[in-house]
Amino acid sequence: MNEQANIDFVKQCYAAYMAADAEKLLSYMAPDVEWNVAELPNIEFSGDRRGRQEVGEFFQQVAANQICRNFEAKEFFANGDRVVVLGHYDWTLRESGVEWGCDWVHIFTVTDGQVASFQELLDSYKVFDAYRQSGDTAVRAPTPGDAILRPFMH
């Protein structure tokens, strides 16, 4: 695929995420997708994942713990099989109401029309500090009834 096609594909991924269409979103991932998010103490949705099932769990864990108030993918860049996106998000912890937000950078590798790898760079101290302020009980495991994605639901 050319670079513009890769950007359009990544935009489809964001559209599925914002529509909370987990089935579609996971179908965009390579079966052995590499998913890299900074490792943070006491944040169960931090750290690396591998494969669709683990990525599905990642989204469940994020959605079980925090509500997305604002999610903006702002600028797209492409080179070869890589797409870089600059954006911003704001979250509220479900348990405590503590708010945090920051700019982020997402880095995708697109292979054969699928996401082969994803890396998120974010202001990791902000999320660590939000959960630290919220205390030990703030991080919740997903419950069986949780939708895979419900980032925007209250």
Partner 1 sequence: MSEQANIDLVKKFYKAYIQGDGETVLSLMSPGIEWIIPDMPGIAFSGTRHGKEQLTEFFQTVAASQQLRRFEPREFFAGGDKVVVLGHHDWTVRASCVEFGSDWAHTFTVQDGAIAAFSQMMDTYQVVEAYRQSGPAAVRAPVAGAILRPMLQ
**Residues that bind partner 1 in the complex, under the rule CB under 8 A:** 38, 40, 75-79, 82, 84, 86, 102-105, 107, 119, 121-126, 128
Q: Are 17 and 148 spatial neighbours (Cβ–Cβ below 8 Å)?
A: no
**Minimum distance from residue 7 beta carbon to partner 1 (Å):** 10
User: How many C-beta neighbours within 10 Å does residue 83 have?
Assistant: 24
Nearest approach, Cβ of residue 144 and partner 1 (Å): 31
Buried b (16+ CB within 10 A) or exposed e, 113-129: eebebbbeebebeebbe
- Nearer to partner 1 by C-beta: 50 or 126? 126
Write down the least CB distance from residue 105 to partner 1, Å: 4
Of the two residues 46 and 60, which places its CB atom closer to partner 1 in the complex? Answer: 46
- Rounded Cα–Cα distance for residues 88 and 74 (Å): 8
Residue with smaller CB distance to partner 1, 32 or 129: 129
